[in-house]
Amino acid sequence: MASTDNEHLVRSDDSQHPANVICELCRKFYTLGWVTGTGGGTSIRHENHIFIAPSGVQKELMKPTDMFVLDFSTREYIRKPPTLKPSACMPLFLAAFTRRGAGCCIHTHSQWAVLVTLLVERDIGQAAPFEIELLEQIKGIPKGPKRQGNLGYFDRLQIPIIENVAHEEDLTESLEEAMEIYPDTYAVLVRRHGIYVWGDNVHKAKTQCESLDYIFQLAVEMKKLNLPWTSDGKSGLTDG
């Protein structure tokens, strides 16, 4: 495939075109420390096209023409920028699109997300969740894909945690397993690595990711002050 093939799929004056949106979001996420050092990324599903960033590049410097485009039905690349490889996160993004019908999936290496995974007791094979309640920002998270509305102030937020592995793509199986065990979740934490957050569309994925990051930061600060995350105090917190 020549370098310019299907460039029309990623070149647009429309600021809302997925290839433009991914670049703009990653620039914003870089300032939050979510996608620094080439880590993290974002993918968007638009109709039958999946837009995916390249692997190992500075995510805040990407151009729309750096984007890969995958045909969602056939799983074939219909645009492949030469010399680049698609993000290793691709099978995880695809899991959010196929299993949850997501329109956008964001992967961050946020330090708050990583710290929270270190504060929850490891429970092998169970994807033991991070749990918290009684915070206003919990209202930023939907109840679940098959449930109406968002969580309430008195609801408990649960985000499953899976164990990290040597290669990002090999996280797919445990991410899919966590999605099955937690059918209402819109996010999965990866211990010592970061988080995957998805939403029905770009706006929802972004605001849910922001709400979660805010909650994780608060949770880390609460832990430092010895404040419990849940009213019964049984929130999987480690002793030490």
Ligand X SMILES: CSCCC(=O)C(=O)COP(=O)(O)O
Task: Please indicate if the annotation marks 203 as binding a ligand.
Answer: no
Q: Is 136 known to be catalytic?
A: yes
In this complex, which beta carbon is closest to ligand X, that of residue 140 or of residue 194?
Answer: 194
Length of the chain: 240
| Residue 168 beta carbon to Zn ion: minimum distance, rounded to whole angstroms | 5
In this complex, which beta carbon is closest to ligand X, that of residue 20 or of residue 87?
Answer: 87
Binding site residues, Zn ion, CB under 5 A: 39
Q: Which residues have C-beta within 8 Å of that of residue 188, sequence separation ≥ 6?
A: 127, 159, 160, 161, 162, 175, 178, 179, 195, 196
Binding to ligand X by residue 81, rule CB under 6 A? no
Q: Listing from the earlier edge strand, what are the strands of the sheet with 156-162? A: 77-79, 68-71, 49-52, 41-46, 104-108, 194-199, 187-190, 156-162, 129-133
d(CA 198, CA 206): 8
Binding to ligand X by residue 87, rule CB under 6 A? yes
In this complex, which beta carbon is closest to ligand X, that of residue 39 or of residue 145?
Answer: 39
Distances (CA, A) of 74 to 8, 50, 82, 124: 20, 11, 21, 35
| Residue 41 beta carbon to ligand X: minimum distance, rounded to whole angstroms | 5
From the candidates 7, 136, 173, 221, give the one annotated as an active-site residue: 136
> For binding to ligand X (CB under 6 A), which residues are involved?
37-41, 55-56, 87-89, 107, 168
Which residues are annotated as part of the binding site for Zn(2+)?
107, 109, 193
| Active site residue ranges | 136
